[in-house]
Structure 1
Amino acid sequence: MRLIILGPPGAGKGTQSVRLVEKYQIPQLSTGDMLRAAVKHETPIGLKAKEVMAAGHLVSDEIVVGIVADRIEEPDAHNGFILDGFPRTVPQAEALDKMLASKNVQLDAVLELVIDHEKLMARIKKRAADMEAAGQTVRADDRPEALFKRLEAYNAYTAAVGPYYEKKGLLRKVDGMQPIEAVAAAIDKILGEDKS
């Protein structure tokens, strides 16, 4: 099972990824984690990335796709993988497609967790208020202001990735505003259909 999970911050991508990792025994691939591991292990692509980061620049799409290419060759990814948080832009999606095609690897599905931004903001505000009322610390990225900025960035760059995969016939939309169990059941139904 080779999957991409798309959706704005707070849509539940992480929650559903953890469940799919257990169900299919495949790794969830985080580009940030893979990048750090490649740098730490001084792989050829990791050394390139280290040089770029040391110069204070952002790592190119070419390097990130190279890191994904190396990672999906590892034994635990032979039966599939979940990409969560990548690709973030259409050029990244195009580069990922070329790399997968060069390895004769096809995606099974691209799942998009669709959410209502206003309801999500209300949910996050309530959660932050409840945590503060209980005397708990609210993480900076769980604050409504931070979420709003992350949603703006998602809408500006990543929202176009869904339509890109829709044109390819790979996109499957799931209502991310449902309870976690209902989202999981909808995903299971989609993946069951895709496998047949």
Structure 2
Amino acid sequence: MVKPVEFWFEFASTYSYLSAARVEAACAEAGVPLIWRAFLLGPVFGAQGMTDSPFNMFPVKGAYMWTDMDRCCSDLGLPFRKPSSFPRGSLLAARVAAAHADAPWVGSFVRAVYHANFADDRDIADDAVIAAVLTEIGQDAAAVVAAATAPDGKAALRSATEDALEHGLFGAPSFLVDGALFWGNDRMEQALAHARSA
């Protein structure tokens, strides 16, 4: 029986941009159900004793990551521009994605936010940018944001982040298949294969 793939992502995560760009099409091609799971890396990193992105804490690693992102995006045909600020806050975007995880447009929203951050260098920490992205994908921005910032909407993201910690996630992107964890953009295909064989 085919199992669903849970795609866990953070909008500030560079490598999540690569996975978000292709996971929906890859799941559809493999006949694997996809579950979008937005969460926040801050509390996850905090639980590991980190106060910043490891790419900022370890400059040599960070320098490699930006070079690698440039190469990976080129290989995938994805536009890429190093953000002028990193990591950017993504609270509202994450709340929208968590509160509307089952909406048919959530994939378009996720990809558009990543494109805004890592291709257009728009400040996704700015609520106005997120509202504009929603409008650009044909959604009623005011209604979507109102639902995402209502108590239930906020609770959805809080709960997802708590779930991430309980599942032992330590970074993004991550994929969960029937409790099995696959970490990193380069493990997406492995997660899909596991979903088909589970």
* TM-score normalised by structure 1 residue count: 0.31
Higher RCO, Cα 8 Å, sep 6+: 2
Q: Which protein is bigger by CA-based radius of gyration? A: 1
TM-score normalised according to structure 2 size: 0.31
